[in-house]
Amino acid sequence: MIARTARMLGFNVFFPIGIDRNGIGVERYAEKRFNISLHEIPRDKFLSYCKNALDELEAEMLDIMKSLGISGDFYNYYRTDSESYRKLTQATFIELWNKGLIYTDTRPNNFCPNCRTTIADAEVIYEEMQTELVYVKFKVRETKEDLIVATTRPELICACQAVLVHPQDERYKRFIGRHAIIPIYGREVPILANTSVDPKFGSGVVMVCSYGDSEDVRLFRELKLQEIIAVDEQGKMTKNAGAYSGLTTKEARIQIVKDLENNGLLVKKESITHRTPVCEKCRTPIEIIPMNEFYLKQLPFKEDIRKCGEAMTFYPEMHRQLLLNWVDSITIDWPISRRRYYATEIPVWYCKSCGEAHVPKPGKYYQPWKEEKAPFEKCSKCGGKEFIGETRTFDTWFDSSISPLFISKYLEDKKFFKKIYPLSIRPQGKDIVRTWLYYTLLRCYLAVGVFPFKAAWISGYCVDEKGEKMSKSKGNVIDPEPIIEKYGADAFRFWSAQEASLGFDFRASEERIANASKFLTKLWNIARFISMFPVVKKAKLTPTDEWILGELAETSKAVEEGYKNFNFFVPATRMREFLWNLFANHYIEMVKARAYGKGFSKQEQKAAWFTLHTCLRVSLKLLAPIIPFITDYIWRILYSKKSIHKEKFEKIGWKRKEKLTEEILYFNSKVWSIKKEKGVPLTAEIQIQVPKELKKLEKDLKAMHNIKD
């Protein structure tokens, strides 16, 4: 709709269609589709499964896009897993590496045990989950007293390095500076005062482990504690867990609680609702474990991104804050490496002798894990001639965040890039503001020093009838294909425009879509009626004609304003109101007799024809970006052999007569109400006085209502 609107506003539109074909979602789909595991078959074979799955999905996706009337360039669509796209991703990485903006480090990272890879903070969401809060006896070494620690992660007791209490908590002041003995493991850890402790939560005593959550990470840094790795890269307990080594965290939790209970060390258990960090892709609770990863520096550029976010245009304005809040919350650099397969490979080789990392020259798509020969003759550090290729891939957002650079032919065509970049507008959902929007701003800015687009159009969620987000687990997902087949693309599009007030969530149901299709039927019937009369280029208008053309002008003005803000709710609702409730119900009924020439002069008849066609012609244009199929069909039959989508919106010069509209609607409703009360047809004769305010329209009103003096 944005593309069609821009064309009709007079812009030259560049709209390439892109298919995102990277990431964890692709791999998980392929694993389920073919009943395979990434970790159990050769990498090459797994990649071919992913590609086959994607080809099937892509063909279906493109068919749906075309059937919905998406107005993009399908002849030159691009894929994020193509060699040319991945080549550019790697080229931008090499540029960043050479600028000193990429580094490697071992530090605590979000890790999804299910996806088996590091994930960035932006890919972590929080869900309220039921869990157990267990109260465990620790022993104070110096006094031999029990100190009750409340924790939701008893399986991490082996990694405890301190016990914290609030400095003002009278219950525990005497223990500050002493030592607690960890149950089962018998180690001593310091009891420290810290204001981060909530005395009202649990027992008011907490243990600091490496790493239960992001707060533990912060405290370990702040208190300079030595980490103990409790969970490995398979989501299982390490040898530091002792007897629980090799168990999953869930299995270890069950077993350690049982052992604590058997040894008289468990005071009680409480069922609580806990805000739990989970993987955005698979909803598995994450672990935080130290891993060596590649990082892109983002902290030095936070202020730059913030200024860009403040300067950009947002449709709607309220979603600007989503970006600014995210930028303000960033505290670490972006971990960009992933332990996955179907994504762009990190173009790095390591010297087999000294371990020095090397990156090649840009301009080629590299697969270090697969290529037999490295693109170097010898190590720049030690002179070694053997290299080991990197096996990791990039975070999928590292790929998709350069889409503005790719479509603008960055590093490929300087002239084209200068013409196209920066782009005008980025349309996207609000759920990926902190990922796709933010990372695109960061990556493009670091590449060329100019932000990639001038505006961002942010949509809300499509939710179910109860206002809940759709998900397969809830069983409330509505499949669009049978809906489109049953009601047509235009009905689907008109429903979405009419429901989706800019930026807000909108509710979906077949009933709502069916109601939208009724408007299309009304439009068709209006056009069918008007098609009976010839198109005339000019006529001497009557007051009735001037009245409806004034209403058309006012509607057109509001609709175009809605389009300029890319708020399709405005044109959809205003055009429905004008065509159905005003034009069809009142004007057409008022001029039917005149259009047929019954009791009117030829001049008056031609005025009706002119006005009917003008209202329809302008309305078709005003509706074309939203319902492209029916408008183009009617347009080609009645007005031109060329497509309506090559037309521009018209400027309407008539003035609205608001008071007259109120009088007309009141009088017509009054007459219809009288006839209904009498139980006579609307065509029945009636004796009623036409108000003096409507005297100029009296002839049309008398013919409409069959009024006799």
What is the assigned CATH class of domain 480-656? mainly alpha
pLDDT band for position 221 (cuts 50, 70, 90): confident
pLDDT digits over 171-218, tens only?
999 999 999 999 999 999 999 999 999 999 999 999 999 888 888 888
CB 80 within 8 A of CB 400: yes
pLDDT digits over 411-441, tens only?
999 999 999 999 999 999 998 999 999 999 9
Beta bridge partners of 18: 78
Task: Please name the residues in contact with 125: beta carbons below 8 A apart, sequence gap of 6 or more.
Answer: 277, 278, 280
Q: What is the dihedral sign for C-alpha 465, 467, 471, 474?
A: negative
Name the CATH topology of 119-287. Answer: Isoleucyl-tRNA Synthetase; domain 2 (3.90.740)
pLDDT digits over 48-93, tens only?
999 999 999 999 999 999 999 999 999 989 999 999 999 999 999 9
Q: What is the mean pLDDT of the chain?
A: 93
CB 266 within 8 A of CB 138: no
pLDDT digits over 589-618, tens only?
999 999 999 999 999 999 999 999 999 999
Confidence check: pLDDT of 47 > 80:
yes
The two three-digit tokens of residue 178, written as one number = 């002493």
Which sequence spans correspond to the domains of the chain?
119-287, 480-656, 670-709
Any idea of the CA torsion for 32, 34, 39, 41, to the nearest 10 degrees? Answer: 180
The values of phi and psi at residue 387, to 5°, are -130, 155
User: What is the three-class DSSP state of 554?
Assistant: helix
Task: Please name the residues in contact with 689: beta carbons below 8 A apart, sequence gap of 6 or more.
Answer: none
Task: Please name the residues in contact with 399: beta carbons below 8 A apart, sequence gap of 6 or more.
Answer: 22, 80, 85, 86, 89, 343, 344
The mean-pLDDT minimum among 21-25, 279-283, 569-573, 587-591 falls in 279-283
Confidence check: pLDDT of 471 > 80:
no
Q: What is the pLDDT of residue 473?
A: 66
pLDDT band for position 653 (cuts 50, 70, 90): confident
